[in-house]
Amino acid sequence: MQYWLMKSEPDEVSIDDALAAAGRITPWFGVRNYQARNFMRDRMQIGDGVLFYHSSCAQPGIYGIAAIASAAYPDPTQFQPASHYYDPKSAPQEPRWLQIDVRAHCKAGPLLLSEMRAMPQLEGMLVLQKASRLSITPVAPEHWQAVLQHLHLDPGLLQK
């Protein structure tokens, strides 16, 4: 199992929105960075753990736990001219952008970015590095465990 931190603006999709979605399944659309897309396409597996991170808000941080619920598939917003995520260079025959589905497990925290920076056990976590702007980053198993421990969550949470 691998672990990921996935950023979402809470105005777009919050942990509350994800928990309220049918079956708690939420499509993770709008990724427009090749490295993040490649993580979805090449490395993410169904069942991988997700730290659900609210970004571009007053208090960025981890607000919930989720899991990858599907393999990567074409993001339909890239073909919709009215969408903020429209890409006129992408074609349905050769889609440039992908999305995955996530299954929300629980609301947790928040564990704010400022608190994360103060935790020595999270040293080296990609989201804490200067100029880290990727919307999807891998999370080392020891960082995953440290976050769950800080949030008082069962390490077997995703197996239930």
Q: What is the DSSP string of 115-131?
A: HHHT-GGGTT-GGGSTT
Pairing verdict, β 49-54 and 3-8: parallel
pLDDT attached to residue 26: 96
Q: How many domains does the chain have?
A: 1
CATH number where 133 lies = 3.10.590.10
pLDDT the model gives residue 34: 96
Q: Is 84 exposed, middle or buried (0-12, 13-18, 19+ CB in 10 A)?
A: exposed
Residues in the chain: 160
- Residues in the chain with pLDDT values less than 70: 160
State which residues form the domain around 83: 3-159
Q: Is the pTM of this model over 0.85?
A: yes
What lies within 8 Å, CB to CB, of 113 at 6+ separation is 59, 60, 61, 127, 128
The pLDDT value given to residue 160: 60
pLDDT at residue number 102: 97
